[in-house]
Structure 1
C-alpha cells in the first residue's frame, strides 16, 4: 500500500497539474488506484482551498491526513489509534516546521473566500505555492505512514 516517497510526491504533482486540487491530489497520490480511490478523492474535495475557501487548514495537509487514515485508521470501536495519531502528528509537525503555518490563508497570505483574495491568488500565481504544498504533503504523509505502519505478520495473521 505504501509507495516510495518520491513516487507519492511525483503522483501528487501530476494530479495537481492534471486539474485536481490540493487535497484531492494528495489523496490520489497516497491511495493510488485502490478500489477506494475515487470515493476518497471525492471526499477530499471539500477540504481543498483551506476547507472550501474558509481559511481553514491547507487542503494538502488535510489530504495527507485522509491518506494516513486510509492506511492506518481504524474501522471499528476499540481498535487502536496510536499509529494513525502518531503519523498525523508527524505530518502536521513537519508541514508546519517547513512552511511556518498550517492554515491556507496564512500559507498564501490571502483569503481565497474573498474576491480580493482570489485576485491576489491569480496575480501572484499562488497556485505554484499550492503545488509545492501538495507535493510536500504527499511526501511527508507517505514517510509518516512508512514509519508507523505495522509490519505484516507471517501467514497473514
Structure 2
C-alpha cells in the first residue's frame, strides 16, 4: 500500500499547482508508474463538477477513476472483478457524502460555477483554495482506507 500522507500531499500539491480536482485526485491515487500527462488528459473534463456544471465533485470522479485503476475489470475479468469494483465505487460515494455532506460540487462549495458571475464570486471567496483541497485529500484518503474492503 502506498504512503497515505505522501499520496494526500501529492494530490493537494497538484491541485494547488493548477490541476483540476479530478486530475489531482486520480494522480494522488494512481501508481507512480502511471503517465501523469495521460491521466491529466483523461480527467480534463471532470473538474468543477463534470465540466464545471457543478454536478458530481471532480474529487469524487477522480477517485472513481482511481478505483478503476486499482480494482477495475476488463472484458476478460468482468465476471470475477466487476462486483468488487462497483461495491467499492458505491462505498466511496457513500463515505464521501457522509464526511462532506454531499458529492455535488455546487452543494460542496456553495456556488454554481456554471454561471460565470458566480464562478467569479467563488474565486474571490477563496473556496477553491480553502475547501477544494480538503475534498481532494478526503477522496484520496477514503480510497486508501478502503484497501482490503469490497
TM-score normalised by structure 1 residue count: 0.85
Residues 1:148 and 1:36: Cα distance change in structure 2 (over 3 Å): farther
Name the structure 2 match of 1:143: 145
RMSD over aligned Cα atoms:
1.6
Q: Which runs of 5+ in 1 are unaligned?
A: 150-157
- Quick one: distance in 2 between partners of 1:81 and 1:37? 26
Residue 98 of structure 1 and its aligned partner are, at CA, apart by 0.9
Residue 36 of structure 1 and its aligned partner are, at CA, apart by 4.2
Residue 74 of structure 1 and its aligned partner are, at CA, apart by 0.3
The answer to whether structure 1 residue 59 and structure 2 residue 58 are counterparts is yes
- Quick one: distance in 2 between partners of 1:4 and 1:28? 14
Name the structure 1 match of 2:104: 103
Q: Which runs of 5+ in 2 are unaligned?
A: none
Could you list the runs of 4 or more consecutive aligned residues of structure 1 that deviate by over 3 angstroms after TM superposition?
none
- Quick one: distance in 2 between partners of 1:23 and 1:80? 24
Paired residues in the alignment total 147
Secondary structure of the corresponding residue to residue 147 of structure 1: coil
- Quick one: distance in 2 between partners of 1:16 and 1:99? 18
Residue 28 of structure 1 and its aligned partner are, at CA, apart by 0.8
Residue 4 of structure 1 and its aligned partner are, at CA, apart by 2.5
2:23 and 2:43 in contact (8 A); partners too: yes
1:31 and 1:37 in contact (8 A); partners too: no
TM-score normalised by structure 2 residue count: 0.89
